[in-house]
């Protein structure tokens, strides 16, 4: 006598196991309960130094004359900086150039021709005593500088200010997360991810552009104001 077939009970067992595993698999693939919050932090500090871009531009009929005149004028500027108390370590050359000046006739059939040469020498000067900044600018103009590219202010201890801005950014993100969780009626869990975001650091220069300065210019009034150092952070919290 043949044994009774067992295919039907076996199929029923497989189906039952599949139904039992369904909720567990769904729970494993469910998205995590979390909230992502952005935080911003800012601190204000009074700057303690300034960086000034300045120099001399000279024109002459020949390249040699333009370069010689520029060199003589820059020597006077360096002397004026030294007399104003600026140390050599605080003076850095940023550009030296020599280029022809062209005349373009209105008659297009005529070729452009060189009518002279322009020599330029630019330096970046750090002024560590801001009370002397206006006097330094006045001194270099009297010494022969005829170009001012810009003035920017900075902090010697920028790292400390930025660290405080970052701490405030984290505190801001935590406060926002607690507010959202409370309003939604859920609990705020542990932090899973912290990512620095957005721009941070010392703001832009006070002045931009390249200005020609007359030798008879009056003493330059300067106001340093305050610097704002900012930081941003993105934090992921679990929800309970």
Give the contacts of 75 (CB within 8 A, at least 6 positions apart). none
Pinpoint the alpha helices (H) of the chain. Answer: 7-29, 63-83, 133-143, 158-184
Helices (H) and strands (E) in the chain, counts: 4, 8
Is pLDDT of 198 > 80? Answer: no
> pLDDT by residue (tens digit) across 114-126?
999 999 999 999 9
What does the pLDDT read at residue 220?
63
Provide the pLDDT confidence category of residue 237 given band limits of 50, 70 and 90.
very high
Is pLDDT of 187 > 70? Answer: yes
Global pTM value: 0.68
Report how far residue 133's alpha carbon sits from residue 49's, in angstroms, rounded to the nearest whole number.
9
Q: What's the mean pLDDT in 89-109?
A: 91
Q: Where are the domains of the chain?
A: 46-156+211-221
Which CATH architecture best describes the domain 46-156+211-221? 2-Layer Sandwich (3.30)
User: What is the rounded average pLDDT for all residues in the chain?
Assistant: 84
What does the pLDDT read at residue 213?
46
> pLDDT by residue (tens digit) across 35-81?
999 999 999 999 999 999 999 999 999 999 999 999 999 999 999 99
State the helix-helix crossing angle for 63-83 and 133-143, rounded to 10 degrees. Answer: 150
Provide the pLDDT confidence category of residue 239 given band limits of 50, 70 and 90.
very high
């Amino acid at each position: 006598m043949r044994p009774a077939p067992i295919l039907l009970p076996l199929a029923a067992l497989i189906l039952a196991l599949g139904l039992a595993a369904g909720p567990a698999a769904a729970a494993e693939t469910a998205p995590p309960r979390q909230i992502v919050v952005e935080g911003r932090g800012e601190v204000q500090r009074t700057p303690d130094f300034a960086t000034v871009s300045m120099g001399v531009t000279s024109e002459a009929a020949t390249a040699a004359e333009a370069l010689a005149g520029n060199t003589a004028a820059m020597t006077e500027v360096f002397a004026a900086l030294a007399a104003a108390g600026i140390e050599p370590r605080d003076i850095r050359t940023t550009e030296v150039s020599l280029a022809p000046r062209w005349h373009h006739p209105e008659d297009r059939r005529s070729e452009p021709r060189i009518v002279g040469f322009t020599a330029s020498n630019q330096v970046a000067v750090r002024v560590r005593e801001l009370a002397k900044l206006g006097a330094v600018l006045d001194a270099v103009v009297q010494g022969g500088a005829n170009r001012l590219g810009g003035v920017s202010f900075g902090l010697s201890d920028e790292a400390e200010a930025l660290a405080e801005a970052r701490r405030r950014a984290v505190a801001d993100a935590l406060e926002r997360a607690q507010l959202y969780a409370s309003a939604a009626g859920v609990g705020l869990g542990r932090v899973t991810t912290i990512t620095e975001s957005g721009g941070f650091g010392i703001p832009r220069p006070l002045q931009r552009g390249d200005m020609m300065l007359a030798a008879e210019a009056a003493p330059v009034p300067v106001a340093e104001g305050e610097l704002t150092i900012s930081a941003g952070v993105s934090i992921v919290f679990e929800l309970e």
